[in-house]
Amino acid sequence: MFSSDTPIFQFRGPFGVPVEIGASILFLAFIFLFPFTTGADLIDNLIFFALILLAIFLHEMGHAWGTIIQGHAVKRVVIYGGGGFCEGTKVLSRSDEEFVVIMGPLVNLGLWALSSLAVPYADNLGWITVGDYFYWFADINFFLFCLNMIPVQPLDGGKLLYLTLRRWYDRGLCIRIAGGIGLLFAVLWIPAMIYAYLTLGYLLLFMPSIPLHLRMFQGKAA
């Protein structure tokens, strides 16, 4: 919902990729930090917030690497209040796009595995606080992996569903099938968001578009 907001900071990331930080990041920071103004809680929330941004950034750099390694250019990577996206300079072939799309979730899965392995190592060395941070980072990356693999647009799972269907079916039928599956998940997203907030304390700033998936299911979306 914040994917077109104004950049407040820009820099060159790995591989020379332009990276933009959207103004809506400030809104996300406010949500995380407002309840805690002083003390250890504020420090912990600052670190947790920084780990979320790092996980999103590395996810998008996974997409960027997948683009560059195949000989294509990356226009920019954007990190904003609702997540992030990697924008290329041209339309890719189906096989190239499949590789680019899957690299983001695979980076999160790899970071989850490495961080999980580091937790007991840090604890055994007496780095209890550092072990907690590795544990947090593992949880964040596993959550991002699972979230991004849900088959709705514009998440990676929705893109992979469409690209996989394109291996066997024509474009129009693939849009309708992906739209129908995405519509089901988009409708279920509302009670799932409420449940996640009430039981886990997770507040998602992203919700898939029900009208978009309905148009796809009806064959009206491009």
Q: Which pLDDT belongs to residue 126?
A: 65
- Secondary structure of residue 91 in the 3-state scheme: coil
- Residue 115's pLDDT band (cuts 50, 70, 90): very high
pLDDT digits (tens, 9 = 90+) for 1-25: 455 678 888 999 999 999 999 888 8
When pLDDT is averaged across residues 199-220 and rounded to a whole number, the result is: 84
* Cβ neighbours of residue 74 closer than 8 Å, sequence gap 6 or more: 15, 17, 18, 64, 67, 68, 86, 87, 88, 89
Per the CB < 8 A criterion, the answer to whether 210 and 187 are in contact is yes
pLDDT digits (tens, 9 = 90+) for 21-76: 988 888 888 777 766 556 667 788 888 889 999 999 999 999 999 999 999 999 99
pTM, two decimal places: 0.90
pLDDT digits (tens, 9 = 90+) for 75-110: 999 998 888 999 998 888 999 999 999 999 999 999
- Residue 128's pLDDT band (cuts 50, 70, 90): low
Structure tokens at 158: 């929705």
Q: Which pLDDT belongs to residue 68?
A: 95
* Cβ neighbours of residue 176 closer than 8 Å, sequence gap 6 or more: 216, 217, 218, 219
Per the CB < 8 A criterion, the answer to whether 96 and 63 are in contact is no
CA–CA separation, 134 and 118 (whole Å) = 7
Nearest partner of 219 among 183, 163, 173, judged by Cα: 173
- Residue 124's pLDDT band (cuts 50, 70, 90): low
- Phi first, then psi, for residue 155 (nearest 5°) are -70, 160
CA–CA separation, 136 and 33 (whole Å) = 17
